[in-house]
């Protein structure tokens, strides 16, 4: 267990609300501040232990000294921050990793509780740690598997991502807006309005004609809009990752080629580098296969005016979150960890052993992904 108390760490903690990405951070302190007095929040908490409902969770890239805190080799972990004062993050927080050696005891000590090893909340923590990302769509489906159904307020996009996703969504919803508007000027304004409402879960009167055309009750329609937001989000994230994938494969090959010709690990690393390029390509292709199902259903509605195909897709959409979310997270992990380790001009030169460990981690993540219904067909 560690106390987050130095100036830089506290500054990072207080800035999480505005700088943290959806996939990397789940800030339950911020969610409590915004929704803590609502009926849904009180009726459907994320955790049964109230202190955990004020915690901050971070998908964290482990430093070499932190990797020794685990029995098994890993490059990332789920970090828990328990604020000392939930109303003032500037005071600091206690921090530890899910699954680190002695984790249950450390958590119990911080919470003033015992017997947590087999509790329902511990199952939730393990489920979160199993995920490669904390994105709300992947997270919600994983929690269902451990019989936890928190309120909808826990599954919003992070503030830091909202503007980027909304901007991306404007073009995505434009074909629908065009169906509803008589002029291009109205279509442009309506696209911006629809995009923001979808991403911020404001499914008001503007969507009533679509809901009626889809013949969905209010609850089913809201679920459908949540699923549509998921596919817009994943499509946005892929659009940011795609330009970096080829560069990653090239940089892996470049670093491996620097090893002297007689180096004993050179043949192995050259083969691993070749496999990384193929794995990145296959993972991206599989993600696009799932997105193509969405595109086909959406275009069927916007090009023919018939809502049945898109309605049926939205009803089944959660079945695709696992396949799509894991692949986007796998690509993101590979790109972000490589950038984290080698992106600085001042980064220490890696040993052949370190490169081998990193590439093995990437290959394990990229080649052991769940098939999902769309990919098993």
Domain layout of the chain by residue ranges? 2-156, 203-376
**pLDDT confidence band for 6 (50 / 70 / 90):** very low
Per the model's pLDDT, the better-predicted residue between 99 and 10 turns out to be 99
Q: What is the mean pLDDT of residues 271-287?
A: 94
Q: Is pLDDT at 26 greater than 80 in this prediction?
A: yes
Q: What is the mean pLDDT of residues 16-25?
A: 75
**What is the chain's mean pLDDT, rounded?**
88
pLDDT at 116: 82
Q: Which stretch, 37-51, 101-115, 182-196, 243-257, has highest mean pLDDT?
A: 37-51
Q: Is pLDDT at 98 greater than 60 in this prediction?
A: yes
Q: Is pLDDT at 329 greater than 70 in this prediction?
A: yes
pLDDT at 204: 77
Q: Is pLDDT at 85 greater than 70 in this prediction?
A: no
pLDDT at 172: 96
CA angle, 137 as apex, 134 and 143 as ends, to 5°? 75
Q: Is pLDDT at 375 greater than 50 in this prediction?
A: no
pLDDT at 373: 55
pLDDT at 18: 58
pLDDT at 133: 92
pLDDT at 345: 64
Q: Is pLDDT at 7 greater than 50 in this prediction?
A: no
Phi, psi of 80 (to 5 degrees): -110, 130
d(CA 10, CA 169): 34
Q: Is pLDDT at 84 greater than 80 in this prediction?
A: no
């Amino acid at each position: 267990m560690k106390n987050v108390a130095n100036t830089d760490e506290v500054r990072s903690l207080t800035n999480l609300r505005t700088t943290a990405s959806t996939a990397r951070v789940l800030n339950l302190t911020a969610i409590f501040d915004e929704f803590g007095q609502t009926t849904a929040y009180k009726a459907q908490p994320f955790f049964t232990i109230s202190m955990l409902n004020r915690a901050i969770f971070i998908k964290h890239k482990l430093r070499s000294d932190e990797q020794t805190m685990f029995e098994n080799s890993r490059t990332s972990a789920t970090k828990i921050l328990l604020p000392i004062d939930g109303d003032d993050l500037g005071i600091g927080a206690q921090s530890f990793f899910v699954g680190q050696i002695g984790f249950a005891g450390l958590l119990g000590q911080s919470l003033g509780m015992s017997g947590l090893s087999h509790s329902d909340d511990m199952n939730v923590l393990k489920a979160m740690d199993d995920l490669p990302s904390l994105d709300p769509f992947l997270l919600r489906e994983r929690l269902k598997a451990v019989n936890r159904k928190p309120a909808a307020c826990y599954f919003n996009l992070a503030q830091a991502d909202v503007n980027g996703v909304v901007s991306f969504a404007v073009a995505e919803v434009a074909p629908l807006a065009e169906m509803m508007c008589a002029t291009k000027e109205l279509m442009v304004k309506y696209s911006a309005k629809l995009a923001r409402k979808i991403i911020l879960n404001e499914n008001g009167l503007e969507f009533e004609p679509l809901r009626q055309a889809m013949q969905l009750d209010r609850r089913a329609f809201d679920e459908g809009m949540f699923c549509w937001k998921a596919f817009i989000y994943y499509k946005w994230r892929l659009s940011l990752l795609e330009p970096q994938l080829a560069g990653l494969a090239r940089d892996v090959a470049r670093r491996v080629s620097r090893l002297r010709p007689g180096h004993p690990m050179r043949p192995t690393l050259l083969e691993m580098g070749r496999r990384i390029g193929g794995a990145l390509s296959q993972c991206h292709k599989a993600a696009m296969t799932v997105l193509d199902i969405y595109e086909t259903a959406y275009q069927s509605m916007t090009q023919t005016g018939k809502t049945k195909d898109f309605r049926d897709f939205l009803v089944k959409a959660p079945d695709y979150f696992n396949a799509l979310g894991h692949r986007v997270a796998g690509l993101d992990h590979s790109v972000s960890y490589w950038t984290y380790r080698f992106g600085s001009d001042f980064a220490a030169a890696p040993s052949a052993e370190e490169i081998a460990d990193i590439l093995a981690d990437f290959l394990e993540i990229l080649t052991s992904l769940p098939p999902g219904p769309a990919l098993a067909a």
